[in-house]
Amino acid sequence: MDPTTLPQDIQHIEDSVTEAVGAAVEQTTRFLPDWAASVLVLVVFALAALLLYRFVLSMLTRMVASRDLFWRSLVSRSAQPLRMVLLIAGVGIGIKTAPMSDQAARILGHILLVSFIICIAWICHTALFIWTTLHMRRFKLDAEDNLLARKHVTQTRILLRVANVMIVVFAIAAALMTFPAVRQYGVSLLAAGGAAGIVVGLALQPLLKNLIAGIQLALTQPIRIDDALIVEGEWGWVEEITSTYVVLKLWDWRRLVVPLSYFIEQPFQNWTRENAELIGTCMFYLDHSAPIDTLRSAGREIAARNPLWDGKVYAMQVTDFRERVMEVRVLISARTAPKVFDLRCEMREGLIAYIQENHPKALPRTRAEADLNLSEGAITARPDPLG
């Protein structure tokens, strides 16, 4: 067989089958009205397509039974799109065979063409969803060291949403291009050209801006899923990243919704950019007579007994002297931001309890100096300049 003549041979076989089926249909439906005969033919071909669907699906299921999860999931989730494709093909052949007018055939053919475009977009969406789902199964966000997992999950989710938007845009553009009256809108949607493209571009500027920001975030990743951020003075975790906005779950369970473009244009704090380890600060205001060395040793013992401390950073320093008190700062580290917060609170409680029990005079006091003026027979008091 000559490969160069293969398309002509296939077309010849199709024409022969169509003629044979048409002759059989004509003999079968010659006693029926044209509309009834057309409906009967379309129903017969649709049923034949469904039978073929069952056969093809069973064959594919057996073929991928021993293969990996991706192919099994692809066959399972592609069953509905496959049925739609075979129905479109069956009804398309039925249109050529049924005794209907040219106008009715054109209308039905156009409907089938639009349905086929939608079906292709459906298949692409299904394949992307299966691939991303299987890809993300390798990463666990609930692990303690989940930096790599957050990186891949964030990148995959953002790119998946952008890809789905692009699939929808291309499907709508291709469907519009099948209508002569609105074909220019489909071309403008694809090429972003002409007056209609400019109008659509201006109207969708915020959406396109956030879509582009989403691509930038997926590539550069200044934020990831489950990152701890401070945005607009609020502290919370990145709970969801969509194609246009980010949802932060705040510490008190409120939700802060921020557009994607914010993280490209505005400064913000990311407490888990490279790792989740943080240094917490505890501030104490004590009397000038407080024994700093003793308190420093006691603070280290309190930290060592606390399971939240990672053992890396501990320091106690006098950072300021004021009129009545001195400012003492304690630095202590933990593996994650929530642990740092809890550790700071427990360090404050432990140190204050230790000072109250062992060095109560180290707590802030207000002093007064008494001057006895015996010649006037009066006692006056004035504040101690040292506080």
Measure the CA–CA gap between 25 and 99, rounded to whole angstroms: 9
On whether the CB atoms of residues 3 and 73 are closer than 8 A, the answer is no
- Taking only the tens place, the pLDDT of each residue in 273-312 is 777 788 889 999 999 889 999 999 999 999 999 999 998 9
pLDDT score at 283: 92
Q: Where in the chain is the domain with CATH 3.30.70.100?
A: 278-362
Q: Where in the chain is the domain with CATH 2.30.30.60?
A: 220-270
Give me the CATH topology for the region 220-270: SH3 type barrels. (2.30.30)
Measure the CA–CA gap between 10 and 5, rounded to whole angstroms: 9
Instruction: Give Dmax (Cα) for the chain.
Output: 141
Which two tokens mark 123? Answer: 């298949």
**pLDDT of 205 above 60:** no
Q: If you write DSSP's letter for every residue of 275-303 in order, what string do you get?
A: -S-EEEEEEEEE-TT--HHHHHHHHHHHH
- pLDDT band of residue 371 (cuts 50, 70, 90) is low
Place of tokens 């993280």: 263
Helix (H) or strand (E) holding 234: strand 234-241
- Taking only the tens place, the pLDDT of each residue in 14-58 is 556 556 555 555 555 555 566 676 777 778 878 888 888 888 888
Strands of 269-270's sheet in order across: 255-259, 245-250, 234-241, 228-231, 269-270
Measure the CA–CA gap between 268 and 228, rounded to whole angstroms: 11
Better-scored residue on pLDDT, 225 or 309: 309
Give me the CATH topology for the region 278-362: Alpha-Beta Plaits (3.30.70)
> What letter represents residue 35's amino acid?
W
Can you list the alpha helix ranges (DSSP code H) found in 64-101? 69-77, 79-97
pLDDT score at 199: 45
